Structure formats: structure tokens, C-alpha cells
Amino acid sequence: MQPGTTALNIVGNEQAWSQDLARKTGIQVSSCYQCLRCTNACPVSTFMDIKPHQIVRRVLLGQQESLLTCSAFWVCLSCEMCSTYCPNEIDVAALMNRLKNMVMELRREPAEIAIATFHKVFLDVLDKHGRINELQLMNRFQWRMLRQGFQPARQEVFRDLRLTFELVRRKRLKLLPESSPAMMEIRHLVHHGSEETPS
């Protein structure tokens, strides 16, 4: 080898991940030409650590480990602007979703604990009643955050309490949750259905 040149250190197929993803989900990241339409359409890209087009790129480059520690896909609102406007019909929103699912399947720590906790608490309430009750959802979320060491500011606590009071007064928050007659079926789904999760 001539002096000054560097040999490529090829250790594996960097596209194995994206190829596997395309086969299983139809999400074709290799179609991306980095036009940034997804990022420009995204209403929350300013709140993301890396942007939607960069997520697509990292999947193509097979950078799974570093990508799964990012917060960007947790911040995603699933508004589907990216998927709707992508000129190459890459389902970017579904990709964001797949990444959240992967973090859960691999039992990693989500980069956005508050957002992941909110989703988990939602499924807890769903499991318990088959339907969602907003007051239960809020209470459980706040307790779970406190238990994880997140202390809300005094001012926020007062603001939330005042809003809660206003909403209870208007019957928009119900103290007693209503359960679905099909509650037990839902428990079965929540506890057994998820075993069939596709990888």
C-alpha cells in the first residue's frame, strides 16, 4: 500500500439494518436523497437533538447503538407531516415509531423519561379499565415521575392544581373512572397480546 493512503476497515454490512427494516416494514430508507423535506415539515424539529433527515441517514449507515440513545424520536408527535410530504414516500413517522418500539424491546433506557413514562402510564390505565380516565392518567403520571426523582417546580404544582380544580368543577375530570364492559378482554390483550410483537 502506498504511503499516505488508509485501508478501509470493513467489519460488517452497514446496510444490514436498513435492508432488514425494508423487508419487514416496507420503510425504505435507502430512497432518501437528503432533501430535508421531513425536517422542514416537522413541527417539533427545533426540539430534537438530531433531525428527522439525520435519523433516516443514521439508519441507512447502520448506526443503531448511537441512534437508540437519541431523544428525537421520543419528541415525535406522530403528526405524519414527514411521511405525507416525503417525495420518496419514506414512512419517516413509522420509522420514528419503530425506534421507540426498539428501545422498549431491547429494554434500554428511553432518552426522554417523561414522555416514555406518560405512554406507559396511559397503557396502565387502559389495562385497568379498558378505557382512559384523564384524572387517573394525570395522577399516575405525576406519582410515577416523582418516584423517579423528578420534582416539579412549586409554581407548576399550583398551576396544575388550579386547572384540575377548574376541570373537576366543570365535570371535565371525573373522579370515578368508567370501565368498559370488555375490560377483561383488554387485560388479556395487554398481558398476552404483546408477546407477538414483530422485531
Partner 1 sequence: MKPLAFYPGCALQAMSWDYRESIKAVASTLDLELRELPDWTCCGATAAHSLDEAMSVALPLRNLVSAEKLGLDLAVACPMCFKRLTYTRLTVRKKRDEIPEGLALDHRILDLARLLASEELLERIRNQVRNPLTGLKMVSFYGCQVVRPPKIIGHDDYENPQHLDRLVVAAGADAVDWSFKATCCGASMGIPKRDIGRTLIAKLLVQAYASGAQAIVACCPLCQSNLDLYQPELRRQNDVLRRHAPLPILYYTELLGIALGLDAVLPGLKSHLVDPVPLFTSLRRQGSNHG
Q: Which residues bind partner 1 (CB under 8 A)?
A: 43-44, 47, 75, 77-81, 83-84, 91, 93, 97-98, 100-101, 104, 112, 114-120, 122-123, 126, 130-135, 138, 141, 156, 159, 163, 166-167, 170-174, 178, 180-183, 185-186, 189-190, 193-194, 196-198
**Nearest distance from residue 194's CB to partner 1, in Å?**
5
2 vs 169, beta carbon nearer partner 1: 169
Residues 19, 31: Cα–Cα separation, whole Å: 12
Q: Nearer to partner 1 by C-beta: 61 or 104?
A: 104
CB of 10 to partner 1, least distance (A): 33
List C-alpha distances in Å: 160 to 32, 139, 148.
43, 11, 19
- Phi first, then psi: what are they for 3, rounded to 5°? -60, 145
For 122, list phi and psi in degrees, rounded to 5: -55, -45
Minimum Å gap between C-beta 189 and partner 1 is 5
Grid coordinates belonging to 21? 427494516
What single letter denotes the amino acid at residue 68?
L
Minimum separation from the CB atom of position 197 to partner 1 (A): 5
Mark residue 184 as left, alpha or beta (left: phi above 0; alpha: psi -120 to 50; beta: remaining): alpha
Closer residue to partner 1 (CB): 50 or 104: 104
From the list 81, 87, 39, 30, the residue with the least C-alpha distance to 60 is 30
Cα-to-chain-centroid distance, residue 23: 22
**Residue whose CB is less far from partner 1, 87 or 193:** 193
Which of 61/124 has CB closer to partner 1?
124
